[in-house]
Structure 1
Amino acid sequence: MAAAKQSPFESVTINLEHDIDEQYQYQPGEIIRGKIGIQLHRSTLVQSVYLTITGDGICAWEDDYLGSLESKENYIDATQAIFDAEGLARYLDTGFHHFPFEYRLPENIPSSFIGKFGSVTYILKAVVEGDRPGDTTIATEPFLVMRKCLLPENLSEPRKIKLAKTYFSMCSWGKVKADIHIDRTGFVPGEDICLQAEVQNHSPLRITAIQAGLMMESVYHAQKNLISYRQIVNKRRDDFELIDGDGRRWQNVRIGIPAYVPESFLEGCDIIELSYKFQFRIELSSGKELKVEIPITVGADPKGLALPGPNKNDENVNIHWTMGPRDLAKKQIEEQREMSAWTVASPEFRDREQVMNPLFRNESEKLRNGDRPHLESSGFNHDDYEDEIAPDYPGSEDTRL
């Protein structure tokens, strides 16, 4: 029996030009430019080279009574025939060949997101067909879309909260008080929440820990049903124990907004909603707690909204792209006969593992604890507190780490 011939394709890769901090990140309306690279270890015939760009949203979970629930949305489904020989395969020499491409992203697509029960993802897929059926090779490359939503000016105002609650234990009673101050409620990814806080214990219970953090709540919709999930995005924690009469002060504690979290609300996606809250929680003995949550808006600074300036040659960027399956692209080839020249180049390659944006990491990966905040003991007194407690959120994730 004759041995099967080895495929002539050593590798097929997709290389994008726009690369920020080793993350493929784009805004809606921006042009994606790149090259499909084909490395041949022997000369061969190539029938066609196709490139597809897809953007999809999906939600899925199991319900105890309703079974499997799922919903989907499509934001991009575009295909371009980079080369199609239409039965007349083209001969390529041994070595590297590349095919440039460009595509303007739609203006109304949502940001990339990967959550517990759903995701919004964008993927480039290149399909190269050789002269024989077994020579077809496929390469894929994910990329990020980060939408920029302008922050309202009123979110730049500081926010102050005072808490107090009375606790009883062992025929004794007293109050736990907290004074919390954050510099504002609107932030851009990469910025810090600046926190000042004072906690005083005049109760018979011990304060076992104080924690402040940024919470993300995601709500998923499918078949007229919904499910929510809460997770800690970033936090600061103090395990210093306070007994009756002790106080604790946090000064200039910073809690970072990760650089690649999606904006609030996830505009453009109808099946997933996102919101953020700043949470300050005091843990006490006997499993009790005192907490408050303040809504936080994640958006963009006006200085970061600008896209590269318009170019006359950019007006018809998507003229060679068709919406839908590949057979539609073939029809377009009949109308567009001018093919791009085949050139030889040696672009710089990198391993796929280098794309380490948090949105592409394992969702179950735990966030590491940050540096300990600057803390001071204090013997302050405040008598102007009102009894106030944040409401509980049934079904939310336990934020004790």
Structure 2
Amino acid sequence: MAVAKQSPFESVTINLEHDIDEQYQYQPGEIIRGKIVIHLHRSTLVESVYLTITGEGICAWEEEYVGALESKEIYIDASQAIFDAEGLARYLEKGFHQFPFEYRLPDNVPSSFIGKFGSVTYILKAIVQGERQGDTTIATEPFLVMRKYLLPDELSEPLKTKLAKTYFSMCSWGKVNADIHLNRTGFVPGEDICLQAEVQNHSPLRITAIQAGLLMESTYRAQKNIIAYKQIVNKRRDDYELIDGDGRRWQNVRIGIPAYVPESFLEGCDIIDLSYKFQFRIELSSGKELKTEIPITVGANPRGLELPGPERKDDVNIHWTMGPRDLAKQQMEEQREMSAWTIASPEFRDREQVMNPLFRNESEKLSNGDRPHVGNAHNEDSYDEIAPDYPGSKEDTRL
């Protein structure tokens, strides 16, 4: 009985030069540089090495009377023949072999994002074809794109607002008042919202909790339909009971903007929109609440990622093929018909290795080019959290 030959490929990996906290993060217009590393456990003939880069936005969800809805945008669709023997395979010795590459990102691509009903993702894929039909190995590497969005000067001004409402209970009535002060309304990822607040209870109802948080609302569009989803990005909660005559003061309470949230509006993407709000909520007995929401703008100014100055090489992408008819895609279609594949690396890293919260929870659903999570619409006021709750500095004030 004939025994099938073992594949000569020990591993195929894509190593990128630009590594920040184990996440590959780039700005539009920046050059991606890296190497395809092939590890052979025996000498072999290699016919070709192709590299593709794709960037796409996808929205998908289901509605009761409409069914499945989906929309898609393509931001990058390029490939390059890193090595193509054109019928004359190249002989590679046992060991490691490196094939360098570079690609300049377009200036108008949107930031990476993974949400409830849609995503914007970028992936590099290497395809190595050996001498035999079954000796095809692929490797993939996702990377992040973060746009640099400068905040308008007026968003650096502090903001003050007041809340007041009269409540009735058991033949008595009174007001709940709140004074809220934010240091500003424009932030970049990694900064803190600095909050001062004072709550006074003159009502017959009990105040059961006070909460302040940053909300992210994502809006998805497909086939003239729209669905919105809200989630808590970060919050500070004070489960403290205040009866008539009690007060509570928050001083220098900080609510952090996570380091990896995309900028407001998700510029460059026409099927997904992002907005942020600061919410201050007072919870009262009998299920009542008093709240206000203030628009917050999140910009992006990644320190250390400034693009090179006036010197710009415009011929970086001269060897890349754009569009759906490139050779690498043709090669991929042919290889999909084969019965045996050797997968050198997963579509995404293990979840434990992924530090970016935008890639957490949804990453396994996006492997192998799958669509994002397809879910049903639900109440917009039920929030999902993507950041932990932290204790704050608060004090009682007896009125």
Same fold, judged at TM 0.5 (above): yes
C-alpha spacing 1:128/1:122, structure 2 compared with 1 (3 Å): same
- Report what 1:179 is aligned to: 179
Structure 1: distance between partners of 2:172 and 2:256: 40
Q: CA deviation at 1:229?
A: 0.1
Q: CA deviation at 1:74?
A: 0.1
Structure 2: distance between partners of 1:106 and 1:51: 17
C-alpha spacing 1:232/1:146, structure 2 compared with 1 (3 Å): same
Structure 2: distance between partners of 1:325 and 1:92: 30
- Report what 1:241 is aligned to: 241
- Report what 2:260 is aligned to: 260
Q: CA deviation at 1:367?
A: 3.7
- Report what 2:333 is aligned to: none
- Report what 2:139 is aligned to: 139
- Report what 2:276 is aligned to: 276
C-alpha spacing 1:357/1:303, structure 2 compared with 1 (3 Å): closer
- Report what 2:318 is aligned to: 319
Alignment of 1:80-91 (within 5 A): 80-91=80-91
The count of corresponding residues between Structure 1 and Structure 2 is 361
**Alignment check: 8 A CA contact 1:79 1:326 kept:** no
Structure 2: distance between partners of 1:117 and 1:303: 30
- Report what 1:14 is aligned to: 14
**Alignment check: 8 A CA contact 2:52 2:328 kept:** no
C-alpha spacing 1:326/1:2, structure 2 compared with 1 (3 Å): farther
SS in 1 for 2:317: helix
Could you tell me the percent identity over the aligned residues? 83
Structure 1: distance between partners of 2:66 and 2:238: 42
SS in 1 for 2:184: coil
Structure 2: distance between partners of 1:145 and 1:55: 10
Alignment of 1:119 with 2:119, yes or no, is: yes
C-alpha spacing 1:234/1:31, structure 2 compared with 1 (3 Å): same
SS in 2 for 1:125: strand
Alignment of 1:188-337 (within 5 A): 188-301=188-301, 306-311=306-311, 314-325=313-324, 327-328=326-327
Q: CA deviation at 1:99?
A: 0.4
Q: CA deviation at 1:355?
A: 3.6
- Report what 1:59 is aligned to: 59
Q: CA deviation at 1:351?
A: 7.6
Alignment of 1:5 with 2:5, yes or no, is: yes
Q: What CA deviation, in whole Å up to 9, does each residue of 1:205-257 have, x standing for no partner?
A: 11110000000000000000100000000000000111111100000000000
2:388 to 346, 354, 369: 369
Q: What CA deviation, in whole Å up to 9, does each residue of 1:296-321 have, x standing for no partner?
A: 00013597773123546x33110110
**Alignment check: 8 A CA contact 1:321 1:329 kept:** no
Q: TM-score, normalized by length of structure 1? A: 0.86
SS in 1 for 2:243: coil
Which of 1 and 2 has higher RCO (CA within 8 Å, sep 6+)? 2
Structure 2: distance between partners of 1:225 and 1:251: 43
SS in 2 for 1:320: coil
- Report what 2:45 is aligned to: 45
- Report what 2:378 is aligned to: none
RMSD after superposition: 2.0
C-alpha spacing 1:117/1:164, structure 2 compared with 1 (3 Å): same
Structure 1: distance between partners of 2:291 and 2:28: 38
SS in 2 for 1:265: helix
Q: CA deviation at 1:21?
A: 1.8
- Report what 2:149 is aligned to: 149
C-alpha spacing 1:138/1:264, structure 2 compared with 1 (3 Å): same
Alignment of 1:358 with 2:357, yes or no, is: yes
C-alpha spacing 1:128/1:353, structure 2 compared with 1 (3 Å): farther
Letter in 2 for 1:102: E
SS in 2 for 1:319: coil
Q: CA deviation at 1:369?
A: 3.1
Q: CA deviation at 1:20?
A: 1.3
Q: What CA deviation, in whole Å up to 9, does each residue of 1:11-50 have, x standing for no partner?
A: 0000000011221000000000000010000100000000
**Alignment check: 8 A CA contact 2:235 2:390 kept:** no
Structure 2: distance between partners of 1:330 and 1:291: 53
Structure 2: distance between partners of 1:368 and 1:109: 27
Letter in 2 for 1:237: R
Q: CA deviation at 1:262?
A: 0.3
Range that drifts further, 314-323 or 27-36? 314-323
SS in 1 for 2:264: coil
**Alignment check: 8 A CA contact 1:151 1:301 kept:** no
- Report what 2:372 is aligned to: none
- Report what 1:339 is aligned to: none
Moved over 6 A (4+): 302-305
